[in-house]
Amino acid sequence: MKTLYLSLIGIVAHAALLGQQDVVKAPGNGGENLLYCGQPGLLQQMQAEDPQRYNSYIAGTSMENESVAGERSNTIYTIPVVFHILHNNGASNISDAQIQSALDILNRDYRKLNSDVNNVHSSFLSITADAYIQFEFAKIAPNGACFEGITRTISSQTSSSNGQAQVNAVISGNNVYQGIWPHNKYLNIYVCSGLGGAAGYTFAPNNEGFGSPGATISATNMYYNGVFILHDYTGAIGTSSVTTSRALTHEVGHWLNLEHTWGNTNNPGVACGNDGVADTPVTRGFTSCPNPSAAQNCTSGVVENYENYMDYSYCSKMFTQGQVTRMRAAIVSAMGGRSNIWTTANLQSVGVGTSSSLCSADFEATQTGLCAGTSTTFSIINTSTAITSYSWTFTGGSPATSTAASPTVTYNTPGTYQAAVTITTASGNRTITKAAYITVAAAPVQVALPIIEGFVNTTFPPTNWSITNGGGTNTWVRNGSIGTAPTAGNSVRIDYYNTNAVGEVDDLNTPGFSLSGLSSASLTFDVAHRPYTGQSDKLEVLVSPGCGMPYEVIYSKSGTTLQTETGNTAAYIAPSTWRNETVNLTPYIGNSQVSIKFRGTNGYSNYIYLDNINISGVTGSGANANFSSSASTSCVGQTVTFTNSSSGATSWNWNFGAGASPATATGAGPHTVTYSTSGSKSVVLTINGGASTSNQTVTVNAVPAAPTVSVTDNCGSSTITATGSGLQWSTGSTAPTITVTNSNQVTVTQSSQGCVSPAATATPNPKTIPTVTMGTLAAVCVNDSPVTLTQGSPAGGTYSGSGVSGNQFSPSTAGTGTKTITYSYTAANGCSNTATTQIVVDACLSLETAGGNLFAVYPNPTSGNVTIVSSTAIDRVFVLDNVGRIAAVIDGGQATEVKMDLNHLSAGSYHIQTTIGSVTKMEKLIIQ
């Protein structure tokens, strides 16, 4: 009798919620080999050693499920990831390819791109959810160094049960940057060979102190906000397997604040509980994939969500809508620094996505799976940095090297090949290498349809069929005594009853065939399966639409969806019930090199039987290919959309011409295409495998280079000149030369044949014109002595004007009247400015002759003080108002010059009367 062990191979483990690692059971000859929680008191240890963190931890696990302020529906949050590989030169030093597999699975599961989600139990199919969360390798280390998102540390701590010691080993000994990797900038994933009996663990979002923003950069925060995983639970290849590959999906769920579906314990199957999410039913959890009828332990008639990623069954394949809401609430919360990790500023700083950093650069090929003798085109992506040179190497390719920006390479020999490029920029160079990047397949033997195989012939595999053995001695074999009509007595089967290599994959491959010229096509086959109670095998059908192109899952059933008879614990030696399956191949019509594989995945359940495999098609007729394009003329880098308008089409094969991305497409579309090269592009649509073809030409013009720009900085303005055609300035001008009076940046593009160049940038810096002032000058008499000029500012300038010599103004030289004096100043930058003022030169009685005696009054007008001068002695001076009354008088004392203070008099018109000897003279005086 088959011994049933608790199949926890795929259990996803953690230490969140109670600080415990999950119990993991590994297969071993059908018996039990339990890996218990090595440190069940982790949370208690946190509570004792860091009570503030413990309080924040509890607050984090109680975070609201509903969307919080700032969370944007369907916004894709990108998480930068670093895999820290901790090894001691043993198996845990897993390959880059295995790590890439782990990242791919995370993205597949969190974006609901896993094909098996379509086989979720009907009770939950409508609430399976896309988390809109994706993961990318970080490309910039904390010290600014470029790396590929992976660090490697040689240390005996790889098998330690002390997670903080493992983190410390990474900090002090990794090969990229020895220091703190901030938990609020990176999702740190530690890959080890031992975790104290766990497959993996993590903690829910937590801070270093209650209410803290979670931004403290420390080794402790790295530990409490990182994910720990065993190497053989990382990815689906290498030391891991498909069955263990979703451990990381489970752990990251805890990192995003999800609990186990049965609650915050580490004991599935013991007591019914819930996870605080409304749409996951109360459950006690499962340690293997049950029949739906056996998954109703807590509420009568309610099937429990045993296929949830947060359960312990290895048939997990979904998150619910409620769980997604809870995770998205966590990702926008400051708890544990989660709200910073996906921000644009942080993604730029760690090199995720397109940036000006050389570290973010990557390359891609238009097709990585090829048929021998075909080509693919390589290009650089994810950087806005100007690249000055390229140096490509293509193992197995022709050419083997290239210096082109986007080379096209042909591969003639089947195999798996490396590609690499060294790019150079003004700031340095970087080499990017991708091992096993290009897979080249030999063209399969083509056979004509229909393909009808009932395994009657004793030759196995049948002619032109093949088997891909996933490991071990067990694989697909012919059975010469069991089958179903019309070929009863013959079939093919695989034994998962006696083989406990859970997760092992074996393929039965059909010959190649063409679906060209058909209007419809289908695959039919008979299947028989009775599962072993509590265990679940899987059968999938995969199709490759062309030689070297990846296989796509078009049929997937497991457990109760696969069974044709109710499960029990007996070996399924004589199936009595078969089910005929039909798979539609019409989406692949038009492809001339199609191949199919039947894939079995071992769940240590029971035998799977196949019989009567038929592939057939119907020849198309009456179809007419036609399509339209959004533009007949485009530019390199712009998009052109092609819209199908064919009639009678059941399949579509597009070829968009040289330099197109994508180069080809299937499906009706519309298809949006970008061209990387200029020229006349021939676009071809073929429908129904060649039944009708339509052609159009799109002219793609080159994008001109940015204009050449020169700047001349003048005093108070800058002159900017661009050389190019069809110029367009950011100021709105289209002239070749513009003048600006500020230092704001301006841009200019040029256009040619409707294509606009990148913008050239100019930064003007007009020279500053000095500010010059000139003070006022009091009125003077024409006979006054020269006036010294000091009124100009800033000092160091020059004076000019009538009567000016150096810094002296001579009234007699200037003559009477209002005179203008100009002050000119030149700054150190060569820029000049001027200021002017005026000075009044008065005649001051013009020294009238009276009886031979000369008499003069100045200044006149006056503000209060006047001087009377005469050529002879002055006896007396009277000031008379306008009605002749004496307003002031002074004895001249026989002096020739008399000064009078008239500030006490009101403004107005007066007369000065003087007595000089026997002569009396009168002169009008104005007091202002």
- Expressed in percent and rounded to 5, the helix, strand and coil fractions of the chain are 15, 40, 50
Kind of pairing between the strands at 428-441 and 369-371: parallel
Closest CA to 189 of 127, 239, 231, 242: 231
Rounded to an integer, what distance in angstroms lies between the CA atom of residue 339 and that of residue 88? 35
- Take residue 694 and report the two structure tokens written for it: 């339509």
Contact between 373 and 413 under an 8 Å Cβ cutoff? The reply is no
Contact between 383 and 389 under an 8 Å Cβ cutoff? The reply is no
Contact between 329 and 66 under an 8 Å Cβ cutoff? The reply is yes
Contact between 228 and 202 under an 8 Å Cβ cutoff? The reply is yes
Kind of pairing between the strands at 77-87 and 187-192: parallel
Residues in the chain: 928
Rounded to an integer, what distance in angstroms lies between the CA atom of residue 211 and that of residue 891? 95
849 CB contacts (<8 Å, ≥6 apart)?
none
645 CB contacts (<8 Å, ≥6 apart)?
626, 627, 628
Amino acid sitting at position 605: S
Query: Residue 80 gets which letter from DSSP?
Result: E
Phi, psi torsion values for 197, nearest 5 degrees: 95, 5
- Take residue 720 and report the two structure tokens written for it: 């900017």
Closest CA to 12 of 308, 217, 375, 273: 308
Strand partners, 582: 524
Contact between 910 and 900 under an 8 Å Cβ cutoff? The reply is no
Q: Which residues are catalytic?
A: 251
Rounded to an integer, what distance in angstroms lies between the CA atom of residue 214 and that of residue 339? 10
Sheet containing 832-842: order of strands: 780-781, 832-842, 817-826, 798-800
CA distances for 555 relative to 118, 504, 522, angstroms: 10, 18, 12
Establish whether the linkage from the previous residue to 587 is cis, with ω within 30° of 0.
Answer: no
Contact between 455 and 582 under an 8 Å Cβ cutoff? The reply is no
Contact between 208 and 218 under an 8 Å Cβ cutoff? The reply is yes
Rounded to an integer, what distance in angstroms lies between the CA atom of residue 396 and that of residue 20? 49
